[in-house]
Amino acid sequence: MVKPFVPQLVYVEPKALDYPLGKKLITKFEDMGIEIRETTSHNQVRNLPGDNHFQKYRVAKSTLVLGLRKTLKFDTSKPSAEYAIPFATGCMGHCHYCYLQTTMGSKPYIRSYVNVDEIFDAAEQYMSERAPEITRFEASCTSDIVGVDHLTHTLKHVIEYFGKSEHGRLRFVTKFAHVDHLLDAEHNGRTRFRFSINDDYIIKYFEPGTSRLNERIEAAVKVAEAGYPLGFIVAPIYLHEGWKQGYHEMFEKLEAALSEKTKKDLTFEMIQHRFTKPAKRVIQENYPMTKLELDESKRKWKWGRYGIGKYIYKDNEQEDIKDTLGGYINRYFPNSKIEYFT
Ligand code: SF4
């Protein structure tokens, strides 16, 4: 059982203390006996303890920085939503394949933003541009926000904000099961709470530091009982020996745990494993013993965002994934919706 995250070290940007949330959190971390350091900007977070990159990387992953979100221009977030809404960046998990390893570069610490009202104001503008159409915001593009939320309760506040929103909807995804504080949030059905799931082999070998499959399923049951629309992202779909059996067992467990009512409004998203050359270098540096297969010659090259090519599965393997996993979903959850495979 993965325990709820507690940072080893907290940095605070002085301006964060001008916000009630910043003050509240610093008092909380002081009371918890956590070392707190001031920093003029998160970019100044240097001198993390550790003798080498390997150690510093691990300390960074358990360091929390409280600061302000300065860029209030939101990225798009296709295919799952219109925009990415940024309340946190970074993650305490250690998934070997995680895309944050390349996007966060040398700054893998977790940041939580305290200027939440300013982020809401920006969201309002995006919504008004599209109204009366609904605008969906994805809150987990740059972090696993649930993983830190038992400390900050920012996400709870955001869920309640969108609970009152006419034109906005919220969605996020997590690999963490620490959801109890979110169960009584007034979501009004406007937040889709998704869990990232995978078969036992993949969770065991590639997702250290995250909640196990059974814990995620238990949390999903609680979330569904609390009335949230529920979804699952099967990601990354990774082909290993016995993958068909592994995924079959995963879907069987899920089917056995969820109520008939929950199964009626369920979404699935399917994302195959992919990597880029820069990601491969970073993964091999941060997780030198990984069993993750990163052999370009076994993959198909595809033009990617920012001009960096990515390596995905070959066409026949993609068809096999779609048929096999799509088949399990249709068999066990005939009333669910597969939103996309990518
Ligand atoms: Fe990355 Fe998600 Fe794993 Fe965190 S839980 S390390 S965000 S893949």
Q: 306 pLDDT exceeds 80?
A: no
Closest CA to 84 of 135, 147, 159: 135
CA–CA dist 74, 101 (Å, integer): 21
Domain membership of residue 248 as a residue range: 9-341
Q: 73 pLDDT exceeds 90?
A: yes
Mean pLDDT of the 213-237 span: 98
Total residues found in the chain within this entry: 342
Nearest-atom index, ligand 1, CA of 176: 5
Whether 4 maps to a domain, the answer reads no
User: What are the structure tokens assigned to 211, written together?
Assistant: 């909640």
- Name the residue of 141, 144, 195 whose CB sits within 8 Å of the most ligand 1 atoms, as the mutation to test its pocket: 144
pLDDT in tens, 117-140: 999 999 999 999 999 999 999 999
Mean pLDDT of the 82-106 span: 92
**Residue 195, pLDDT score:** 98
**Does residue 91's CB lie within 6 angstroms of at least one atom of ligand 1?**
yes
Work out how many domains the chain is built from and give that number. 1
**Residue 307, pLDDT score:** 78
CA–CA dist 113, 69 (Å, integer): 6
Whether 177 maps to a domain, the answer reads yes
Whether 1 maps to a domain, the answer reads no
Buried b / exposed e over 200-211, threshold 16 CB at 10 Å, is ebbbeebbebbb
Whether 333 maps to a domain, the answer reads yes
Identify the CATH number of the domain in which residue 313 sits.
Answer: 3.80.30.30
Tokens 């990515």, located at residue = 310
CA of 58 to the centre of ligand 1 (A): 14
CA–CA dist 212, 206 (Å, integer): 11
Closest CA to 10 of 158, 114, 127: 114
| pTM of the predicted protein model | 0.96
Calculate the alpha carbon distances from 75 to 96, 219, 291, 292 in Å: 25, 29, 33, 29
- Name the residue of 94, 95, 216 whose CB sits within 8 Å of the most ligand 1 atoms, as the mutation to test its pocket: 95
Q: 49 pLDDT exceeds 90?
A: no
Whether 209 maps to a domain, the answer reads yes
Whether 2 maps to a domain, the answer reads no
**Residue 212, pLDDT score:** 98
Whether 307 maps to a domain, the answer reads yes
Mean pLDDT of the 216-230 span: 98
**Does residue 100's CB lie within 6 angstroms of at least one atom of ligand 1?**
yes
Whether 188 maps to a domain, the answer reads yes
Higher pLDDT pick, 308 / 236: 236
**Does residue 148's CB lie within 6 angstroms of at least one atom of ligand 1?**
no
CA of 90 to the centre of ligand 1 (A): 8
Among 46-55, 74-83, 152-161, 224-233, name the one with the lowest average pLDDT. Answer: 46-55
Cα 304 to chain centroid, rounded: 21
Within 13 Å and on the Cβ side, how many CA atoms surround 317? Answer: 16
How many angstroms separate the most distant Cα atoms in the chain?
Answer: 56
